[in-house]
Amino acid sequence: MVNRRVDDEARIDRGTMDPRVVEDFGAEWARFRNEALSTTELTEMFDDYTSIFPWSDLPAGAVGFDAGCGSGRWARFFAPRVGWLHCVDASSEALDVARQVLSEHENVEFHHSDLGAMDIPEESCDFGYSLGVLHHVPDTEAATAACVRHLKVGAPFLVYLYYDLGEAGVLRRGLLALVTRIRRVTSVLPMRLKVLVADLIALLVYLPIARFARLMEKAGSDPSRLPLFQYRDRSFYVMRNDSLDRFGTRLEKRYGRDEIRRLLEGAGLEKVTFSEAPPWWVVVGWRSSGAVPGPCP
């Protein structure tokens, strides 16, 4: 098997992509290639996202897809454990980074494609995942259903979607509303200025709060009462990356548990299971034997 590229002509469905969002993420992954991160920190982050992934359910030589692979930072951990991995992204810039990150893996195939038009046979995959992508597309329902159509019946699909803080207190919900207002301004700035602002937010907000949360934990207190507590042991590089991800994105959606369950079940998944640890929400479901919604005529 060889490392292949399938992107001579991008397959794009305008209903499940926003060209400006794709361009922004391409620039983000070209800047944050994760080369500066230690394998230990990346592995810890990967374990957080895949804590409920049913590795034991996969058949030998499993074939699957990474829907919105970005820089390939998670694919680098999946590829050694499976038989074949389709890496799909609408950004050619991001795929260029992913090719370099995954250059040592000969069981990876790259697709320059929107999630709604993936050049993968339907009902052909033993697993799939989409981490931090589906909340950034205009039609999340259509994109999710499109992913599920490529799964075999009984195959798992792992997703990560932003949570809406509906179960949090008034203070946290107020902070989220403030962040959303700020993001609407910062996300339309020129990229260089956007990066500068995101770096300042990482330095002046993420870093001090995260390190204070770490001190709280060491003192025996519960750090989860603080926003951004999940960054307490993360490097400043990760904070900068996530700050740009948060404040540089034009399109962002957030979901409660019930909304996610309805989204995934409506897309053709069953046995929807949530991780109870951050990041929220990490969810896995299995393709049911029923019909999966098709694209709109």
pLDDT of 6 reads 36
Per the CB < 8 A criterion, the answer to whether 108 and 75 are in contact is yes
pLDDT of 290 reads 79
pLDDT of 11 reads 44
> Which of 247, 39, 12 has its CA nearest to residue 112?
12
Strands 156-160 and 4-11: unpaired
pLDDT of 172 reads 78
pLDDT of 125 reads 98
Instruction: Tell me the pLDDT of the chain (297 aa) as tens digits.
Output: 334 333 333 344 444 678 889 999 999 999 998 888 899 999 999 999 999 999 999 999 999 999 999 999 999 999 999 999 999 999 999 999 999 999 999 999 999 999 988 999 999 999 999 999 999 999 999 999 999 999 999 999 999 999 987 777 777 788 889 999 999 999 999 999 999 999 999 999 999 999 999 999 999 999 988 899 999 999 999 999 999 999 999 999 999 999 999 999 999 999 999 999 989 899 999 999 976 777 654
Strands 4-11 and 84-89: unpaired
pLDDT of 85 reads 98
pLDDT of 16 reads 61
Spacing of C-alpha 184 from chain mean position = 20
| pTM attached to this predicted model | 0.91
pLDDT of 29 reads 92
Q: Select from 3.40.50.620, 3.40.50.150, 1.10.3720.10, 3.40.50.1970 the CATH code of 4-164+254-287.
A: 3.40.50.150
